Amino acid sequence: MANEFVSVDPYMRGRMNDVRSYVAPYALGEVIAGGAVGRVVESAADALPVGAVVLHQHGWSDVVQADASTFRAVPEIPGVPLSVRLHILGMTGLTAYVGLTAIAGLKECDTVFVSGAAGAVGTAVGQIAKLLGAGRVIGSAGTAEKVALLTEKYGYDAAFDYKDGPVRAQLAAAAPEGVDVFFDNVGGDHLEAALDVMNDGGRLALCGAIAGYNTTERVPGPDNLANVITRGLTLTGFTIGNHLHLSPEFGERMAGWFAEGRVAYDETIVDGIENTVDAFLDMMRGANTGKMLVRIARP
Ligand code: NDP
């Protein structure tokens, strides 16, 4: 098959460390495995005819030859790029949905705070929270443009640039009545700030901790962890691979919202397989709004 879009994702950074984690480290000299979407160009499998759109985990390459069982055919949506299967209708959308529902137990009228709000997962979290009846939704991101987009395009009620000043002070100002659900993509100072403002019985879905992915020293823990005890908070970490049974439920609900035009998305696209490493590094530095993708030229 020939890839049309290849995904670059923060979890790949973790696989570049030779440490125990929930997926094995990448081996030197091997193709970087990860999500990609493309079309079948040659096939010996009846279920995957030439032209079929397929999702797979073969990663950073322009063409792939592999067993048919490693590809999953997905329907093409007229007028919509195949790339949505790698974010809002795919893994990052599912992560947002699972984190809010199965992990945080989102309830109507909950106040929600989302860190890393302008990325692929974060843009989906804010919108899904609203669609599921959340009250105030607050987001943080790393540029003024991203912050503006959160309130103007993604339905956030308030947003701030975490580079403008201490997260603690900015979050306290944005959440005068506290936070019930924290969806954390960042960790570090964001987690500490959230622990300060969590309401009693609040739930924290720990999805990512990108602030620490590139650090060489150990990051000190939050200084206010005792709030977990005194306020009866629940912190739950999750990896999406353990919640794939929710994929059909998500697929059905998101397909409906998407068809009704109730979800928006952004993509930051880099052209050319030869630029994949730079796209990955730029994503880690925050150059993306929404999903960072690499587009492969058609053969
Ligand atoms: P994003 O599209 O959000 O891209 C990464 C973003 O992280 C950048 O755009 C940048 O935005 C932000 N960032 C980088 N460094 C920092 C920092 N030091 N402090 C705050 N923000 C930073 O990626 P994804 O949406 O794919 O992933 C978001 C998070 O979700 C990651 O932590 C990832 O590991 C996690 N994840 C977890 C999954 C799971 O199963 N648990 C599944 C998928 C993702 P900015 O300009 O705002 O700084």
Q: Which of 167, 210, 280 to mutate to test the pocket of ligand 1 (most atoms within 8 A of CB)?
A: 210
Report the separation in Å between the CA atom of 299 and the middle of ligand 1, taken as the mean of its atom positions: 32
Does the beta carbon of 121 sit less than 6 angstroms from any atom of ligand 1? yes
Two tokens at 110? Answer: 């909950």
Report the separation in Å between the CA atom of 2 and the middle of ligand 1, taken as the mean of its atom positions: 28
Report the separation in Å between the CA atom of 275 and the middle of ligand 1, taken as the mean of its atom positions: 20
Name residue 160's amino acid: F
- Phi, psi of 279, rounded to the nearest 5 degrees: -60, -45
Predicted local distance difference test score (pLDDT) of residue 219: 79
Nearest-angstrom CA–CA distance, 119 and 288: 7
Nearest-angstrom CA–CA distance, 242 and 220: 28
Predicted local distance difference test score (pLDDT) of residue 39: 97
The residue whose CA is least distant from atom 12 of ligand 1 is 286
Does the beta carbon of 227 sit less than 6 angstroms from any atom of ligand 1? no
Pairing of strands 198-206, 234-237: parallel
Query: Domains in the chain, ordered, with CATH?
Result: 2-83+266-295 (3.90.180.10), 91-241 (3.40.50.720)
* Residue-by-residue pLDDT tens, the chain, 299 positions: 999 999 999 999 999 998 888 888 999 999 999 999 999 999 999 999 999 999 999 999 999 999 999 999 999 999 999 999 999 999 999 999 999 999 999 999 999 999 999 999 999 999 999 999 999 999 999 999 999 999 999 999 999 999 999 999 999 999 999 999 999 999 999 999 999 999 999 999 999 999 999 988 887 789 999 999 999 999 999 999 999 999 999 999 999 999 999 999 999 999 999 999 999 999 999 999 999 999 998 76
Sheet holding 291-295, edge to edge: 71-73, 53-56, 36-39, 2-7, 291-295, 267-271
63 pairs with which residues across the strands?
Answer: 2
SS3 44: coil
Nearest-angstrom CA–CA distance, 136 and 114: 11
Predicted local distance difference test score (pLDDT) of residue 299: 62
Residue 37's alpha-carbon distances to 22, 116, 144, in angstroms, are: 24, 25, 32
Q: Which of 185, 206, 238 to mutate to test the pocket of ligand 1 (most atoms within 8 A of CB)?
A: 185
Cβ burial, residue 29 (10 Å; 0-12/13-18/19+): exposed
Does the beta carbon of 88 sit less than 6 angstroms from any atom of ligand 1? no
Nearest-angstrom CA–CA distance, 211 and 14: 12
Q: Are 253 and 262 in contact (CB under 8 A)?
A: no
Q: Are 113 and 181 in contact (CB under 8 A)?
A: yes
Predicted local distance difference test score (pLDDT) of residue 83: 98
Nearest-angstrom CA–CA distance, 219 and 191: 12
Does the beta carbon of 142 sit less than 6 angstroms from any atom of ligand 1? yes
SS3 277: helix
